[in-house]
């Protein structure tokens, strides 16, 4: 059983929680590869997907996970809702809960929004991304995908490359990988690396080629232009020149490394198309594993009620 009622961030999970989620996700992955992909585990459980920010993969992945578990789902999108008329977050969610919803999957632009809600409502909350803070299910599916390729992550060398400053995926991955005993190096332009990030026990590099030589896994993040209020580098072309990864760079390494990306990819910026589609890449495996991992999270949280 999980040690927490909500999945607000990886920071709150124990190593035992992570291991339990991984084990359960593996069982659900086996289910997803059967001809009949549905199980009745969450029949009579109602889950609301409450998204205040745009999402494709995460939202579809959660919806599919819920349907595979036979849960009843309702979808809420802020763009066409009363939020535009001035309704507060708490009022919006309480109105949804009044319809007898058991669990909320929520994405919000403000860091800490799911934590705030968890103090005021009874339903379980799954954080599907809160601003630039955390994105726990992405980190869990990344760990699951790495473990499929590398086995135990203790002592493995993981590089996270790109826009660390604006990335919720980076922070959740740091917490998840450290709990599993991995070594982490962050790589990107000085302007996109948070100032005191080394206090979390990670190394920092500004040289992509050196970082690729060092690592077993390169988890590449996109440049989040929509979160950048000022210019952090001269141009996308220059960023691509210094920090972009091509298939040629991967082929020149004297070892095989695993290439990951949480999506959406800006092809030609952080990754060239031939790198993203190469045999090094497990990007589509991550998407497939996302459904199994989210099924595991929903199932384990619902089991506590």
Binding residues for L-aspartate: 85, 168, 222
Torsional sign, CA 200, 148, 258, 21: negative
The pair of three-digit structure tokens given for residue 7, joined into one six-digit string: 């999945």
In the block, residue with structure tokens 């999945």: 7
Q: Where are the alpha helices (DSSP H) in 126-271?
A: 136-150, 168-179, 208-214, 236-243, 247-251
For residue 65, give both structure tokens: 């996970």
Annotated binding site: 57-58, 85, 107, 135, 138, 168, 222, 263-264
Contact 262, 287 (CB under 8 A): no
The answer to whether 131 and 74 have CB atoms below 8 angstroms apart is no
- Per the annotation, binding residues for carbamoyl phosphate are 57-58, 107, 135, 138, 263-264
Sign of CA dihedral 62, 64, 66, 71: positive
For CA atoms 237, 239, 242, 246, give the dihedral sign: negative
Alpha-carbon distance of 126 to 71, in angstroms, equals 15
Tokens of 288: 């497939």
| Distance between CA atoms of residues 87 and 93, nearest Å | 10
Per the listing, tokens 């008329």 go with 85
Tokens of 44: 């009579």
Q: Is 193 within 8 Å of 243 (Cβ atoms)?
A: no
- Distance, CA of 303 to CA of 169 (rounded, Å): 27
């Amino acid at each position: 059983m999980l040690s927490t009622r909500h999945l607000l961030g990886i920071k709150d999970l124990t190593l035992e929680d992570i291991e339990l989620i991984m084990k359960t996700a593996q069982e659900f992955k086996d289910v997803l590869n059967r001809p009949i992909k549905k199980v009745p585990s969450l029949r009579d459980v109602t889950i609301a997907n409450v998204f205040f920010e745009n999402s494709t993969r995460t939202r579809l992945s959660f919806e599919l996970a819920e349907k595979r578990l036979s849960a009843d789902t309702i979808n809420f999108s802020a763009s066409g809702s009363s939020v535009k008329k001035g309704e507060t977050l708490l009022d919006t969610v309480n109105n949804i809960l009044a319809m007898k919803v058991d669990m909320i999957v929520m994405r919000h632009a403000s860091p800490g929004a799911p934590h705030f809600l968890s103090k005021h409502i009874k339903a379980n909350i799954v954080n599907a991304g809160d601003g630039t803070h955390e994105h726990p299910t992405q980190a869990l599916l990344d760990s699951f995908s790495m473990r499929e390729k590398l086995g135990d992550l203790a002592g493995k060398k993981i590089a996270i490359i790109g826009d660390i400053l604006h990335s919720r995926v980076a922070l959740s991955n740091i917490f998840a990988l450290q709990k599993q005993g991995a070594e982490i190096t962050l790589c990107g332009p000085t302007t996109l690396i948070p100032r005191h990030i080394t206090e979390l026990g990670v190394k920092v590099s500004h040289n992509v080629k050196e970082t690729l030589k060092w690592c077993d896994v390169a988890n590449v993040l996109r440049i989040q232009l929509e979160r950048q209020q000022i210019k952090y580098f001269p141009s996308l072309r220059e960023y691509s020149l210094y920090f972009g990864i091509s298939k040629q760079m991967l082929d020149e390494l004297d070892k095989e490394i695993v290439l990951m990306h949480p999506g959406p990819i800006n092809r030609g910026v952080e990754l060239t198309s031939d790198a993203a589609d190469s045999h090094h890449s497990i990007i589509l495996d991550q998407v497939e594993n996302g459904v199994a991992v989210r099924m595991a999270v929903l199932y384990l949280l619902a089991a506590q009620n």
